[in-house]
Structure 1
Amino acid sequence: MKHILLIKLLCFIGIVSVSAQKPIKGTVKDSNGKGIESVNVNLKDAEGNIINFTRTNKNGEFNLSVKNDQIVGYKIEASSIGYKKQSISITDLTQSQDLILQASETNLETVTVKNRPSLMAKGDTLNYRTSDFADKQDRSIGDVLKKMPGIEVAENGKISYNGKSISNLYVDGDNLLDDKYNIGTKSIPQGAVDKVQVIQNDQPIKMMRKNNMSDDVALNLVIKDDAKLKVMGDATIGAGTPDRFDENLTAMLFNKKLKFINNIKGNNIGNDPGIDLTSHNLSDYLKRLDNSKPSGLLSTGAAGVPSLPQSRYLFNKAGVLNLNNLYKFNQDLQLRANISYLYDERKQQYNKFSQTYLSDQTISYSEFQNNEINPQKLRAQFNLNGNAEKHYLNNNFVLDYAPFKTTSAFSINNVAANQILKQETFDISNEFNYRKKLKSDDVINLYSYFNSTSQPEILNILPGLNADVLNNGNSYLGLNQYIKLPTWYTNNYISFAFVKGGFAQTYKAGFNLQQQNLNSELYRIQNDQTSELVSQNTVNDLKWFKNRVYADATYEYTNDKIKAGLSLPLSYNRISYNDPLNALDKSLQKLFLNPSMNIKYQTGIENFVTANYSFKNDLGGIDDVYRGTILKNYRSLFANDAPVSETKAHNIGAGFNFRKAMQMFFLNVGANYSDIELNTISSYSLSNNIQQRIVLPLENHFKTLSLNANTSKYIFAWKSTLNAGVIFSQSKYNQLQNGELLPFNTKTITYRAGIEAKLTNFVNWSYNASYAVTDNRAEIADAIKTNFQQLRQQSALAITTVRNVYLNLSAEHLFTHQSSQPNLKYLFADMNVKYKILKMKTDLEFGITNLTNIKQFDAIYLSANSLTTGTYLIPGRVAMLKATFNF
């Protein structure tokens, strides 16, 4: 009897247990609605623990069970190879739990052939192993980047990937250097970098990644774990002849909480330390701010620089302090400080002869300048960044102070004089941006930017020049040109983004204000030391006020194949300006619609095509409307007699990007056409001694077509990276000179090719060549024609002679041809020997630059109907001995 009761009790417990099991049914389908077989389906609780699991049948159906009704926070998760993982929350057990999986990009297999470099692609990220491309002689990561197929490093340090400039260089995912990344590529040891990641469609704002419309490309340097544990750096002491020095001290740290690259350097060997402060995407940043203002109205003349690497022609004595520090309070909040100061003393000496060809005459002048230039730059930038899944805060405060002084002795057409130019810019700004993601996944964005700038300028010239124009034909002692242009600007907007699936709508409304005051006077100093205005026509007291109220509707769509965007910005623009001294009091009001659209279509996992179109109306600035004449430099007088310039620009472009990462082959092709219509034109009155410009109300067109193709390939058998490219551009525009309207057609085509080769285990060789042809033609009877051709070749040989001894030989050849001038040919050569003392972590170097001791360089410049030949004094042979200690 007891046994029967026990059996009945167990059966009852089993029945109760079975009845407590709640069934969960559902399906898993692809984007076409077809059931997917053998998908892994997991039931997870609120803590992410797996409660139950199963697989789908051939129809994509699944059955799971849960023991109780407490399903708050429970999720169904489905995953399968070839599809993106998907999960849904369970809210009602009686409903079918249906999931739709989107196909995912297949990760490219890593090339595993022994002793061969490999790339690995995962989604939008392409990984280069640093060790695959580095050699023993490579010191910094910048040395290795030049060897990586698909990546190009320009002479100024700007980095491009498959034809597109990078937007940022991250260090372990952090934006430490804020676009001024030269110090990073020069300083970070290549041995400390595990991988270089190319991130396509880079979106640094976390909340925007779900519906990512970004087309930016960024690089991320993945630091090795052992390199994160200590402070790294190096110290260099160098001395040479004649009277040369080169000093450097760098310290860096890359751990999770604190990152910094702090550097102090100085030299007088022609290496400009200011290059480390270059902002490579500055033009894009200024365009986004929409705060147009002249960078400087005065100059000492158009000296130009020779067509050589800067290190070959620069006479300098310069030093820079460059501090970059980032502290992370947590994963979502960080504070960054970038502080720098540059002091430089430069010397420049040149002779120049210029000819401007008109239909009935040729304007010629010769000049000589001996310049002493003293630029200084102080910049302090503080950035607070909070970047979380639900909110984004970015506040950027910047202070810039840049005094600039040039003293020069010069002569023009054998008339000698001296000049001093002083410019002093003080600029302070704050940019605030806050985004908040709402429960609906919609985003609200608040933005505010403020800027205040002062930039006084003074130009002194002794003795007085062009007396027939500036002093009624009487000799006089000198000229003083004074300018002040304080500027105040603010831009503010609010926007809402509505997101649903792959579709996003953004609506923006805002306003900006710009207020400026241009004060200028041109004084002449008579021989009796009295000072007076040259005339009432050389004074400006121009007050300028510009305001814009705008609204913008942007529509964006993205899926695995297509990214498309349409923007419809509408703006009301009002400008008023007055100058009682020049009887000027005007205003204008304009309503502009500036539509733009773009599309990107993924033709394959690695390949895509792009197309874009934009139409933009734009208005000029205060430098378009001042009436009083300004002495821009010792031979140029500028004024205006026209309304605010209005620009209408059509721009259309297309491109194709192709890559085979496993084969390390990259190709990009692009085309762009722009048609710009202006309502003003600059009219120049030229003579052999002076140039006078006045802006007139006359329609003017600029039409430009550009085509480019570039390719890069790693040849495994040769252990070499090959690259080649061609760029074609054609421009049509008008010039008004001496009352003659000249329509010009300019064509330029440039070919380039290069190789980075590992000839043997101890010999590396590089070669780069570019050949450019420029043709200018005036489209009139008896057309004015000019032609210019230049070939530039660079080659370097790196040899490991014996253990830890390295020899580097390099050469550079330039050939220039212009039909009316003799050919120019130059060959520069350099040599460097390095010995590594491994136990002391010290490198000893001895090098000689400009072995052939070239001290004078001739150059030819071609522009429309103007030909200029220049002779520059350059440093001769320099020998240097350096010791670098690495820690």
Structure 2
Amino acid sequence: MKHFFMCLFFMGWYAFAFAQQKQIQGNIKNRAGTAIAYASVMVKNERNHIVSFKASDEKGDFALLLPDTLILYPIRLEIRHLGYKTIKLSITDLKKNYPIVMEEQAIDLSQVEVKSRPRIDRRGDTLSYEVSTFSKNEDRSIGDVLKRMPGIEVNDKGEIKYNGKSISNFYIDDDDLLNDRYAIGSKTIRHDMVKRVEILQNHQPIKVLRQRVLSDAVALNLVIKEKAKLKLTGQAKIGLGAPHQYDSELNTVLFNKKYKMLNVLKANNIGEDLLADFTAFNQSSFLAAMDNGHPQALLSASTVAVPELPKNQYYFNRSGSLNANNLVNLKNGIQLKSNINVLSDRNVLEYNSFNDLYLEDDTVHYSEEQKVFKSLFLTDISLSAEANKELYYFRNRLRVAYTGQPIRAELGSNEFELDQQLNDHISDFSNHLEYVPMLKNKNIIRAEWYTSYYRNFQKLTIWPGINDQVLNRDSAYARAEQMVQTPSWFNKMSLAYGLVNGLIKQQYQIGLLNEIQQLKSALRLEQLDGHTNPFEGSDDNNLRWTRSRLYTNAIYEYKMEKLEASFSIPMTWQIIRYQDHNFQVDNHKRQFFVNPSLRLKVMTTVEDFISLNYSYNNKVGDINNVYRGAILLNYRSLQSNDALLQEQNNHQAGLSYNFQHAITMLFLHGGLSWSKATANAILSSRVTNNITQTVLVPLSNNVSTFSVYGGASKYIFVFGATAAIKASWDNARYNQLLNGHLFPYANSTFSLSPSIEARLWSAISLSYNATGTWMKSKAVAKEGTPSLPEQQITLYDQSVQFNFAPYKSLFMTVTGRQQFRQQKRQHLSYFFVDANVRYRIDKWHSDIEMNLINLADVKDYETYSISGNRFYYSHYSLRGRMAVLKYTFSF
């Protein structure tokens, strides 16, 4: 409590130190007395930095808000307008009304080159990018234009960030049509349909909470042109190519005030991963608060990661998907929405790999050669009803999902061959209800109820029998079958009351959580004579898990002038019980946690701020940490636990700086973060050349991380270019317990990523992206610690793209990508070349294009990586050269 009152004293002192804002106002006319509209009005400090700006209205009036403490420093008013001389005027009295008379100035038109200057406007917390000033003739979707806008970043997965921060919502004319799966929108919505892209800072999606609850979220809103709202539009695409390639798509788009739709039907075998269209980038705050979600799937048929390449280089697929998103706004303010996702995908991954595990006096070597066949069927249906009004908010969302994925793998490992079959079936049902009304006294109530049922059934079959010395008393056998199923029921209810009218806004919440799970597993070995026995090294799992949690949370928020502060004190009392009569396990655990968090934000100027945050969390393991019976996770990993429930406390702290200057289109961000987690258990592994046996054992374990990061994005007006650079340095310290020896490890990674997109001449533009990564992993030398080799890897990945438009309707693109990887004296280098030629026939509303992929016909790809005392090498088969001719009709 002492620290809490000190925090309140600090916030009160800070508010006193900053006086109230004052308004500087005036009127702009010419010598004839005519009002001058849309003049650029700026207030600059002694360093020539803009501290406030606005455009005059149609009557020539302007008004800017300034803190009256600013008068302590030299400031001036600067007014600009095309065709008039610039006005520069010292400000001595913030209360004065400034009448401005501008003098006309002739312009020598012979010296003027007409250009479409990229435009960004700022109003309050909203930053608006004029799409037409950033787009190019060769652009298709709004995603192509977003990548060119300074301050906005779109990564390979389609996730959008603004000045280093992921967006929380993707709106289309203020409606959240796509929920959190917005990648399909940025790829499908044509850029010529969009008038502006708005970045909404400090965004609060629930209207009744705006100006009442602090938020540091960033959202993106697409403002659709009026003429694009009038009718249904879309595209039909068909493509054929060699060897035996096809690519087709049909989409329909309608965005008006009453009805919105974005429906996309796709099918291809050119390596496009359609599952990426269903990616959810951010969970809602309510769901993210659930630190225990669905149990993680345990079984797998593959042990190697995918290559660091564009997926169309190695993804041998036959895929089809339906992505249907429809929204209706009723007259009474109710919004009805459906999101239906269906995917069918068959793909093949072929590779061979080895990895070396360095121990004190030995090196364990694994090698494998595998061909994996996957067949995925996914359906995900979400139905919601919502009313988002000034006086109340209501939403109910129902979700039903099913995933089925049979996997077959042919594998050779350490000189023996085997086949695998993994069947994976997931059923998921959930309902989320929210209600937030405003009371007569202007305070708010927030009620939420979330319930879900989740079931994951997995069955792994391996033949012929493997590792008989461990699994079958050194006797050969026919096959092994491992079954695991984890049905789970989850229920969470909460009620909060908010006092939102005082100087310090307060919220008090109480909630109840119930969790019931079961983990059932059986490992069966089929003998050569046909009969089946259970694995004698362990009984089956039949574990039941319940968790009941009663929690409260007090949140205090303060905002005055340049300071924002938020302080929360969650308190949790929970009871966990887990039991398995097969192992005489019946454990109860009662715990009480206090997990405080603090966030401070100081505005250094109108557009810049410094943010500081700290949190302390207690985390408890889940059902996957406490099962006693052995489970064969894959063909070479056998895992069990000693029924110890893992507990972890974690300190996290961060300091960041955010700079944005809309007029000069300069965006900067940077900061540092630190975390330290202490757990009461560690995973111990017993490794041999054929199998790894792991168990969670009671031993204190610390993991600490420290990161420094930064980024900059700038539009360079002279060259018509958008340039950006990102850098980060990460250091992690952790422990590994292998074959009875504890290995403290330190991993460090430095990454540098520059990029630029520029128009070289009127018909030629260039885009360059690169990433350099330097990784080092070494054992921390301590007395009694075995000496292990230090591992270092250097990776350069760069791509350059040339766009050539010799005629208005003809576009040609050539892309080159180089990868270089070095470890000790070994190095690998690859170069890929793609080309695209597109001809637009405006009269027919059509495009004809030829895609040429991997012109160098690279069919083999090697890579290696390091992690702790492991070295990984992998070799992949690539698709090779491809050519696809595509016709697109827009309607």
Band the TM-score falls in, shorter-chain normalisation: 0.7 to 0.9
Which residue matches 2:363?
A: 362
> CA offsets, 1:241-263, max 9 Å, x none?
00000000000100000001001
Matched, 1:82 2:64: yes
Question: Contact between 2:200 and 2:221, CA under 8 Å: does it hold in 1?
Answer: yes
Which residue matches 1:522?
A: 523
Question: Contact between 1:110 and 1:120, CA under 8 Å: does it hold in 2?
Answer: no
Q: Secondary structure of the equivalent of 2:289?
A: helix
Deviation at 1:284, TM superposition (A): 6.3
> CA offsets, 1:2-39, max 9 Å, x none?
xxxxxxxxxxxxxxxxxxxxxxxxxxxx9958998999
> CA offsets, 1:319-370, max 9 Å, x none?
1100000100137320110001011000011000110111211110110111
Question: Cα–Cα, structure 1 residues 444 and 34, in superposed 2: closer, same or farther, change >3 Å?
Answer: closer
Q: Secondary structure of the equivalent of 1:330?
A: coil
Question: Contact between 2:25 and 2:64, CA under 8 Å: does it hold in 1?
Answer: no
Which residue matches 1:800?
A: 805
Q: Secondary structure of the equivalent of 1:186?
A: helix
Counterpart CA distance in 1 for 2:720 and 2:505 is 46
Which residue matches 1:66?
A: none
Which residue matches 1:543?
A: 544
Which residue matches 2:861?
A: 857
Which residue matches 1:869?
A: 873
Question: Cα–Cα, structure 1 residues 238 and 285, in superposed 2: closer, same or farther, change >3 Å?
Answer: farther
Q: Secondary structure of the equivalent of 1:485?
A: strand
Question: Cα–Cα, structure 1 residues 260 and 110, in superposed 2: closer, same or farther, change >3 Å?
Answer: farther
Letter in 2 for 1:220: N
Question: Cα–Cα, structure 1 residues 111 and 751, in superposed 2: closer, same or farther, change >3 Å?
Answer: farther
Counterpart CA distance in 2 for 1:193 and 1:501 is 41
Which residue matches 1:183?
A: 184
Counterpart CA distance in 2 for 1:197 and 1:123 is 12
Question: Cα–Cα, structure 1 residues 295 and 779, in superposed 2: closer, same or farther, change >3 Å?
Answer: same
Matched, 1:426 2:427: yes
Counterpart CA distance in 2 for 1:436 and 1:34 is 32
Which residue matches 2:850?
A: 846
Counterpart CA distance in 2 for 1:347 and 1:415 is 22
Counterpart CA distance in 2 for 1:364 and 1:250 is 50
Deviation at 1:744, TM superposition (A): 0.2
Question: Contact between 1:108 and 1:120, CA under 8 Å: does it hold in 2?
Answer: no
Counterpart CA distance in 1 for 2:169 and 2:226 is 22
Q: Secondary structure of the equivalent of 1:500?
A: coil
Q: Secondary structure of the equivalent of 1:289?
A: coil
Which residue matches 2:717?
A: 716
Question: Cα–Cα, structure 1 residues 108 and 805, in superposed 2: closer, same or farther, change >3 Å?
Answer: farther
Counterpart CA distance in 2 for 1:714 and 1:408 is 50
Question: Contact between 2:358 and 2:788, CA under 8 Å: does it hold in 1?
Answer: no
Question: Contact between 1:201 and 1:212, CA under 8 Å: does it hold in 2?
Answer: no
% of aligned pairs identical?
37
> CA offsets, 1:152-204, max 9 Å, x none?
00000000000000011100111000010011100111011000011101111
Question: Contact between 2:481 and 2:523, CA under 8 Å: does it hold in 1?
Answer: yes
Deviation at 1:869, TM superposition (A): 0.6
Q: Which shows bigger deviation, 534-543 or 490-499?
A: 534-543
Which residue matches 1:809?
A: 814
Question: Contact between 2:708 and 2:730, CA under 8 Å: does it hold in 1?
Answer: yes
Counterpart CA distance in 2 for 1:782 and 1:253 is 65
Which protein shows a greater Rg? Answer: 1
Counterpart CA distance in 1 for 2:398 and 2:290 is 14
Deviation at 1:479, TM superposition (A): 0.3
Counterpart CA distance in 2 for 1:737 and 1:107 is 69
Question: Contact between 2:497 and 2:508, CA under 8 Å: does it hold in 1?
Answer: yes
Which residue matches 1:169?
A: 170
Deviation at 1:568, TM superposition (A): 0.3
Question: Contact between 2:383 and 2:399, CA under 8 Å: does it hold in 1?
Answer: yes
> CA offsets, 1:568-607, max 9 Å, x none?
0101011001101111111111100000010111110110
Which residue matches 1:141?
A: 142
Counterpart CA distance in 1 for 2:472 and 2:296 is 30
Q: Secondary structure of the equivalent of 1:606?
A: coil
Question: Cα–Cα, structure 1 residues 248 and 502, in superposed 2: closer, same or farther, change >3 Å?
Answer: farther
Flag structure 1 segments of 5+ consecutive residues without an equivalent: 1-29, 41-78, 85-105
Question: Cα–Cα, structure 1 residues 377 and 284, in superposed 2: closer, same or farther, change >3 Å?
Answer: farther
Which residue matches 1:288?
A: 289
Letter in 1 for 2:881: R
Counterpart CA distance in 2 for 1:278 and 1:202 is 22
Counterpart CA distance in 1 for 2:800 and 2:528 is 58
Letter in 2 for 1:165: S
Deviation at 1:290, TM superposition (A): 3.4
Deviation at 1:212, TM superposition (A): 4.1
Question: How do 1:732-811 and structure 2 match up within 5 A?
Answer: 732-780=733-781, 782-811=787-816
Q: Secondary structure of the equivalent of 1:82?
A: strand
Counterpart CA distance in 1 for 2:657 and 2:479 is 58
Question: Contact between 1:642 and 1:680, CA under 8 Å: does it hold in 2?
Answer: no
Q: Which shows bigger deviation, 495-504 or 615-624?
A: 495-504
Counterpart CA distance in 1 for 2:338 and 2:21 is 54
Q: Secondary structure of the equivalent of 1:827?
A: strand
Deviation at 1:779, TM superposition (A): 1.2
> CA offsets, 1:707-737, max 9 Å, x none?
1010001100100000011110000000000
Which residue matches 2:10?
A: none
Question: Contact between 1:109 and 1:662, CA under 8 Å: does it hold in 2?
Answer: no
Deviation at 1:114, TM superposition (A): 5.0
Which residue matches 2:101?
A: none
Question: Contact between 1:401 and 1:425, CA under 8 Å: does it hold in 2?
Answer: yes
Which residue matches 2:377?
A: 376
Question: Contact between 2:402 and 2:425, CA under 8 Å: does it hold in 1?
Answer: yes
Question: Contact between 1:769 and 1:794, CA under 8 Å: does it hold in 2?
Answer: yes
Which residue matches 2:619?
A: 618
Counterpart CA distance in 1 for 2:428 and 2:285 is 19
Letter in 1 for 2:63: I
Deviation at 1:825, TM superposition (A): 0.4
Counterpart CA distance in 1 for 2:222 and 2:197 is 5
Q: Secondary structure of the equivalent of 2:330?
A: strand
Question: Cα–Cα, structure 1 residues 840 and 686, in superposed 2: closer, same or farther, change >3 Å?
Answer: same
Counterpart CA distance in 1 for 2:728 and 2:687 is 33
Question: Contact between 1:642 and 1:697, CA under 8 Å: does it hold in 2?
Answer: no
Question: Contact between 2:317 and 2:348, CA under 8 Å: does it hold in 1?
Answer: yes
Flag structure 2 segments of 5+ consecutive residues without an equivalent: 1-16, 28-60, 67-75, 83-113
CA RMSD of aligned residues (A): 2.1
Question: How do 1:495-644 and structure 2 match up within 5 A?
Answer: 495-535=496-536, 537-644=538-645
Question: Contact between 1:212 and 1:558, CA under 8 Å: does it hold in 2?
Answer: no
Deviation at 1:803, TM superposition (A): 3.7
Question: How do 1:86-105 and structure 2 match up within 5 A?
Answer: none
Which residue matches 2:110?
A: none
Which residue matches 1:818?
A: 823
Letter in 1 for 2:231: K
Question: Contact between 1:848 and 1:878, CA under 8 Å: does it hold in 2?
Answer: yes
Which residue matches 1:251?
A: 252
Question: Contact between 1:291 and 1:489, CA under 8 Å: does it hold in 2?
Answer: no
Counterpart CA distance in 2 for 1:680 and 1:524 is 31
Question: Contact between 1:108 and 1:662, CA under 8 Å: does it hold in 2?
Answer: no
Counterpart CA distance in 1 for 2:656 and 2:504 is 24
Question: How do 1:379-458 and structure 2 match up within 5 A?
Answer: 379-458=380-459
Deviation at 1:285, TM superposition (A): 6.4
Question: Cα–Cα, structure 1 residues 108 and 484, in superposed 2: closer, same or farther, change >3 Å?
Answer: farther
Deviation at 1:618, TM superposition (A): 1.1
Which residue matches 1:10?
A: none
Counterpart CA distance in 2 for 1:459 and 1:108 is 73
Deviation at 1:558, TM superposition (A): 1.6
Counterpart CA distance in 2 for 1:37 and 1:662 is 20
Counterpart CA distance in 1 for 2:79 and 2:218 is 22
Question: Cα–Cα, structure 1 residues 176 and 499, in superposed 2: closer, same or farther, change >3 Å?
Answer: same
Counterpart CA distance in 2 for 1:108 and 1:129 is 24
Counterpart CA distance in 1 for 2:721 and 2:484 is 56
Deviation at 1:206, TM superposition (A): 0.7
Q: Which shows bigger deviation, 429-438 or 110-119?
A: 110-119
Counterpart CA distance in 1 for 2:346 and 2:812 is 32
Counterpart CA distance in 2 for 1:175 and 1:629 is 46
Deviation at 1:501, TM superposition (A): 4.0
